[in-house]
Structure 1
Amino acid sequence: MKKIISVVGARPNFMKIAPLHHALKKSGKYQSIILHTGQHYDEKMSKVFFDDLGLPEPDIYLGIGSGSHAEQTAKVMIEFEKVLMKELPEIVIVVGDVNSTLACSIVAAKLLVPVAHVEAGLRSGDRTMPEEINRIVTDSISDLLFVSEPSGMHNLINEGVSEEKMFFVGNIMIDSLVAHVQKANQSNVLKNLGLEEKSYTLVTLHRPSNVDSKESLEKMLRIFAEIAHRSQIVFPIHPRTRKRLEDFGLMEKANAISKLRLIEPQGYIEFLKLMKEAALVLTDSGGIQEETTVLGVQCLTMRENTERPATIEVGTNQLVGTDESEIKAKAMEVLNGNIKEGKIPEKWDGRTADRIVATLDHIFATW
């Protein structure tokens, strides 16, 4: 059996590794080892995500914890090098664009262990985003590039990457969504929160440009106050964002918005249900742009760019920038029924993990 180490570093990685782990195990040809760097780790939330996705406890846990980009990357590299020299896997699989993705791909490449990058080729064109640097470097040293949407193929070709390395397999995160949407339908989260289907706006915010200054958070609260005239707002708030509100003395303002509900971060199943039944999703997340497109839910992305253009070109996502008046206007348009029709992009069908495993079968037969 071929030994494969799959790296997770943050919660979005779980949704990408879970279907691949299950497909590798099902094939019977691979020893699938899950390594959690601990880059982001909340014991309660991580356990919920592993349970929801049917993942075993990680085989290897590095326990890196928080720190600056340099500290995190360096710590992961030091610890991951020890693991690779002991385990000697045939290949390392990294997903997404977090610091763990970059760190583990560099270590593997220098030890001449082949690297496969799942979700390769995505580009925002904005190098002020740490994730953009992680994507570019990881793709440049990976041996296999598993691409989720056509823009990824075009970006890699434009960067001079050999087409022999590139495989358009579809969006692996949608595999998790397809596998769990029926379970999400049975969730009682709406009942528990006293919500009706299609009666609320769901908000997620985590990017520094939106939450790390008093001015940006005050702007968000003004946007929420405007939307609250038309819709209940449900905001599963990250502890870091909650702390920012408290540090800037804005919690009283937030609590004064009568239709704004600040709730604890949710598990995968509960959040999927909340997203599926929202009238509108307001976000700065990458993955949520993809999930809302597949669910046919209206999404407004509060960023100046996106590395997932298929969600705009084909799906239900709209890029609204960070201008307060523009966000308010677009949100009210959607809530008043002026919605964007969308379709599901090619190969976002829940079978991406199977296509990756089939590609690995072929690659290992030729190596």
Structure 2
Amino acid sequence: MAASAPLGSRDTAIVHVVGARPNFVKAAPVVSALRDRGAHQAVVHTGQHYDDRMSAVFFRDLGLPTPDVDLGVGSGSHAAQTAALMVGLEQEFTAREPGIVVVYGDVNSTVAAALVSAKLHIPVAHVEAGLRSFDNTMPEEVNRRVTDQLSDLCFATSPEAIGHLAAEGVSPDRVHLVGNPMIDTLLANLDRFDAEALRARLGLPERYVAATLHRPANVDDPDTVALLVARLHEIADLVDVVMPVHPRGKAAFDRAGLGDHPRVHLLEPLGYLDFVALVRGSEAVVTDSGGVQEETTVLGVPCLTLRPNTERPITITHGTNRLVTEADLLQAVTKVLHGHGSEALLDTTPPLWDGRAGERIAAVLTQWSR
């Protein structure tokens, strides 16, 4: 894929701000659809996820252009990281004068770009607007709410998101139901998710449960981590557990001895194609990730979400997802392994999860910016 065009004048330039691996998956179909329309666009990578395993490999897998700008902000506390993001983005936007800034998801890069754009009177478009967990202890929930209030265009992935935005006073003319660009990326790459080849390359067993955990509620407290490790070891007594370990939780899981069980297979973070292949080939997924809940809904893989809530309830009503606690995790996995718990899989997918969300977003953006 060719590099994106240079930034143009304020009435033509579309600037995408991405910073973490979920952003890259959502941005890819939007960038591609805008390129097909001949739009002047640029990609600013904040560097919130900055090493090859969490960043560059996703650009390669997804065919995203090399970022026009990489701010290289890196990690830090929420306050320190968000402040650094805002300083870097303010400098970039002041110098480049984008016509509209497109932000994705709910990470710190998302809210930082929205805040800076609002202060500089630059329009903002939020892809994945209106998702709500109603749990303000989650940093992502705060980011989502603030970003939506500042956005001139709110692109919703599911019908309930429209209701949430309406309840918060967002004008209907700012809201567009477009479908889910993450599913665009999934559907476009279905024939590249080769679970058998991945198992052979990494020496993994044929039958396994995949796990991915990184949210503060699950990895920040040592007592919580110890309980989760005990449950994962119990699951490993029944079936192998394969877990790509997110850098955020690696030290905590190492201290708790997660890898001490012979049937627990710990991996470095995987690129997009490898990770979805791992999910596709699994008996079930144990996760606290929002995106994985969506991907399993389309792939038809039972998903056990280790959280008390989800901002994606449509994955429960239309898909394979179920909320579980640490206490009932083993029982939930056991049911799946015995063929129970997947009987609710539906033949239908959520509305507009058809692989064309990027095209719909591009159509609105190009019409709006004229």
The 5 Å alignment of 1:23-172 reads: 23-28=33-38, 30-172=39-181
Q: Is the 8 A contact 1:187 1:270 kept in 2?
A: no
Number of the residue aligned with 2:19 = 9
CA distance in 2, matches of 1:49, 1:297: 22
Aligned 1:323-362 pairs, distance under 5 A: 323-324=326-327, 326-340=328-342, 341-342=345-346, 343-362=348-367
Alpha-carbon distance in 2 for matches of 1:329, 1:187 = 28
Name the CA distance, whole Å, in 1 between partners of 2:237 and 2:196: 28
- In structure 2, the CA distance between the partners of 1:90 and 1:285, relative to structure 1 (3 Å rule), is same
Q: 1:186 to 1:240 in 2, by over 3 A?
A: closer
Q: How many aligned positions are there?
A: 357
Instruction: Tell me the secondary structure at the aligned position of residue 43 of structure 2.
Output: strand
3-state SS of paired residue (1:235): strand
Asked if 1:299 corresponds to 2:303, the answer is yes
Distance 2:53 2:134 in 1: 35
In structure 2, what is the Cα distance between the partners aligned to 1:310 and 1:163? Answer: 21
2:245 to 237, 246, 254: 237
Listed as ranges, the gaps of 5+ residues in structure 1 are none
Stretch of structure 1 that moved more, 305-314 or 45-54:
45-54
- The separation in 2 between residues aligned to 1:39 and 1:334, in whole angstroms, is 36
Corresponding residue for residue 285 of structure 1: 289
1:204 to 212, 228, 240: 212
Equivalent in the alignment of 2:185 = 176
The CA deviation at 1:149 is: 0.7
Do the aligned residues in 2 keep the contact of 1:122 with 1:155 (CA within 8 Å)? yes
The answer to whether the Cα contact below 8 Å between 2:20 and 2:54 also exists between their aligned partners in 1 is no
Residue 4 of structure 2: aligned partner: none
Deviation at 1:245, TM superposition (A): 2.9
Q: State the distance in 2 between where 1:37 and 1:118 align.
A: 17
Structure 1 243/122 Cα, relative in aligned 2: closer, same or farther at 3 Å? Answer: same
Q: SS at the partner of 1:161?
A: coil
* 1:250 maps to which of 245, 249, 256: 256
**Structure 1 SS opposite 2:238:** coil
Aligned counterparts of 1:188 and 1:357: Cα–Cα separation in 2: 35
Counterpart of 1:216 in 2: which secondary structure? helix
Unaligned stretches of 5+ residues in structure 2:
1-7
> Over aligned residues, Cα RMSD in angstroms?
1.5
- Aligned-pair identity in percent equals 49
Give distance in 2, aligned partners of 1:351 and 1:136. 26
C-alpha deviation, 1:193, in angstroms: 2.9
With the length of structure 1 as denominator, give the TM-score of the two structures.
Answer: 0.94
CA gap 1:256/1:39 in 2 versus in 1, 3 angstroms: closer
Pairwise CA distance, 1:333: 0.7
Partner of 2:229: 221
What SS class does the counterpart of residue 167 from structure 1 fall into? strand
CA contact 1:187–1:269 (8 Å) conserved in 2: no
CA contact (8 A) 2:196 2:281 kept: no
Question: Cα offset for 1:186?
Answer: 7.6
SS of alignment partner, residue 93 of structure 2: helix
Q: Taking structure 2 as the reference length, what is the TM-score of the superposition?
A: 0.93
Do the aligned residues in 1 keep the contact of 2:53 with 2:269 (CA within 8 Å)? no
Code of the aligned partner of 1:3: A
Counterpart mapping for 1:175-194 below 5 A: 175-185=184-194, 188-194=197-203
1:7-34 Cα deviation digits (max 9, x unpaired): 0011111101111111111111x11200
C-alpha distance in structure 1 between counterparts of 2:99 and 2:261, whole Å: 54
Report whether the alignment pairs 1:259 with 2:268: no
Partner of 1:363: 368
> Alpha-carbon deviation of 1:223?
1.1
Asked if 2 retains the 8 angstrom alpha-carbon contact of 1:144 and 1:166, the reply is yes
Range 236-245 or range 137-146, more displaced: 236-245
Supply the distance in 1 between the matched residues of 2:132 and 2:295 (Cα, whole angstroms).
Answer: 18
AA at the equivalent of 2:256: L
